[in-house]
Structure 1
């Protein structure tokens, strides 16, 4: 009991410490709380300006901003806030799974989703709780064109064998082939695994994770182990720096921008910093290579706002959520700050976006035209996604294989065991 009280007090202090009031209009307007998160791209100034754009047009709404302690732990943090009776009114990029089934989230009506390109993304038992605001390709591979040229690599690889061969050429020149990370953020460790499963497993079974939920397939199945084994191959060839799995996301990104490695598998949000931050080489981008060279591009549409179904000012929360996600100024800001591809009908990115964003956006548009898009493993949500808590386990499994703590077979067995616990 004493521990529960301490946890509740700690959470209350954390929420209070992270809260920022944005007040516009009359003092008796409806107040809502908004859970955000911060990254090197999404700074406090970014969120404050985004909130202000909406409240300036809706002076009857006041917003109290909350910030998740970590960028990738926002869903876990939202669960803690729910358990302590402090569930926010509006949350962004928080997985709806678990919350929706328990009746904690507002289910958007079809007519409220009419402005979005993919209104039926991320269903939970046939209902739609998360605004399908943005599409992200996860992961394309960013590369240092200078280091590629010095290693005699004249074109980006399109097959897995070409990727491995190019990594070997870079290694021979004394260049680290890949930038990876992990630390408290986790996901930089599993980016290559995400690309492998998406392009290899999902290319033939796009509903594989849905089948996993139904108990029809397992992580220990040969097709999944084979894809995972390619990550182990890179580690065995010493193409991955095993010590880097303790490096956090910001430091991982900076290592690539500092020219410490040649390739950086990361979500398309990296393009924003690639275009905005200083580096002394040209950055290119290519789709994650496939085993047979077939064009397959992993992507995720979602990550938008969810609304607390029991919010004291539910109508204000809904109005803010839609206003935030559909505001042209906010969409432009998200493109420039986080490299997102807004999934809003008729939207066109600003003409002055940087070259890395443009290159990645063109790759995505080509994939859409060729019907080459599949889910991005680990990043799916709702009925199409991993069970709650499993994303961290995927990151851990990838780290264990990279460092040699587990074999691929043991890592896959670990995932099946953790899945059984999560279910």
Structure 2
């Protein structure tokens, strides 16, 4: 999926979201978004992935539209994973969408282009003030996703590994055991337009080595109190460079698309797959020939630091033909029981709407993923997910894609960790001039 964001402070009640029954979530029931009219044609910017295809979006749009008569939706599909960049292109030609999902509000919010969500409109959400931008919320925080490591239990058994690693040292030792048995330890891709997919190992090490100690690190970077060339960030990058240098990541795989990388893991071309929790839905739906386990990328001392994002929902243009009707439709889409169930089944979401409980027939990989998230949550081990933040304390627009391009070089041995830090500082300066 890759469109989530989260607040640095995740409410403990989020752990209960999956254990309750959906109540009081009918769109438009408590919000202030009354329509000024009864009819409107609205553009909706979305995206497509192997998990969320055109059929998925069309069905969800139809369910929301049935709840809000008078709305006609014109679907727009981003041609790449960079929906925010595409929205900017549309805006530059006077075609800014009326409703968008997973949009980074940076650049749009301060220009007055987005309508903020009110406290009443956010009343159904577990963490209603996730990702505030200038004190206001512009994206419905409807679901949580985390970055974990999925692993081939058969490969671990062949290498004599009886349990997932609990420390970073154990992760390296297990990787060495796997390689000694002729098993590629890590599947990592990110070729072509999917360079974002190479970021997940770095997200994990930034979580363990930077954000665990300094949760507001990016806010401090904005205030020029820290640099990417500082030891903490360079050390996080160095860990990934070391994993690649030791031959634990197949360099040939870096040219694979996201879909091909996912399939490569299912085909047994590597023992571990660092990826967003949405992979759990794919693992359960397209069962490989082996059992799939899950664990959080370990810290040096074994304490939890799980990168996680909460958000990903709808934003509404302040210039929509009918802002009230657009908000009503957006909430109808986000809070519909069948839409939520479909999102959980298709994309492995951990829904952050009060009272929601996932379908009882969810598969073992999804259930293990949720259990890993809850374990980290209960241990106060949830941190931000580097490059996926939006709102206050996030990368400047466009810098996440620059980071992914740099990671390609880092993993390929064409850039050192120190050089990567200097590259990130230079890109930051360009983006904030």
TM-score w.r.t. the length of structure 1 is 0.92
Worse overlay, 361-370 or 283-292 = 361-370
C-alpha contact 1:232 1:401 (8 A) present in aligned 2:
yes
Match of 2:160 in 1: 152
Match of 1:61 in 2: 71
Match of 2:177 in 1: 169
Match of 1:96 in 2: 105
Across the two proteins, how many residue pairs are aligned to each other?
394
- Whether 2:147 is the aligned partner of 1:143: answer no
Deviation digits for residues 379-419 of structure 1, max 9, x if unmatched?
11121211111101111121111111111111110100000
Tell me the secondary structure at the aligned position of residue 266 of structure 1.
strand
C-alpha contact 1:54 1:323 (8 A) present in aligned 2:
yes
Runs of 4+, deviation exceeding 4 Å = none
1:14-163 aligned at under 5 Å gives the runs 29-70=39-80, 72-137=81-146, 139-163=147-171
Of structures 1 and 2, the one scoring higher in RCO (CA 8 A, sep 6+) is 2
User: 2: CA distance between counterparts of 1:149 and 1:161?
Assistant: 19
User: 1: CA distance between counterparts of 2:363 and 2:379?
Assistant: 25
Match of 2:30 in 1: none
- Whether 2:336 is the aligned partner of 1:336: answer no
1:208-247 aligned at under 5 Å gives the runs 208-247=217-256
Tell me the secondary structure at the aligned position of residue 51 of structure 2.
coil
C-alpha contact 2:308 2:383 (8 A) present in aligned 1:
yes
User: 1: CA distance between counterparts of 2:290 and 2:373?
Assistant: 24
Deviation at residue 295 of structure 1 after TM alignment:
1.5
Deviation digits for residues 260-308 of structure 1, max 9, x if unmatched?
1000000000001000013111101011111110122110111111111
Match of 1:8 in 2: none
User: 1: CA distance between counterparts of 2:309 and 2:113?
Assistant: 23
- Whether 2:286 is the aligned partner of 1:280: answer no
Tell me the secondary structure at the aligned position of residue 150 of structure 2.
strand
C-alpha contact 1:74 1:94 (8 A) present in aligned 2:
yes
C-alpha contact 2:237 2:420 (8 A) present in aligned 1:
no
Tell me the secondary structure at the aligned position of residue 252 of structure 1.
helix
Deviation at residue 75 of structure 1 after TM alignment:
1.1
Tell me the secondary structure at the aligned position of residue 326 of structure 2.
helix
Worse overlay, 363-372 or 272-281 = 363-372
Match of 2:187 in 1: 179
Among candidates 356, 376, 391, match of residue 367 of structure 1: 376
Tell me the secondary structure at the aligned position of residue 272 of structure 2.
strand
User: 2: CA distance between counterparts of 1:226 and 1:394?
Assistant: 16
TM-score w.r.t. the length of structure 2 is 0.90
User: 2: CA distance between counterparts of 1:223 and 1:391?
Assistant: 19
Match of 2:417 in 1: 408
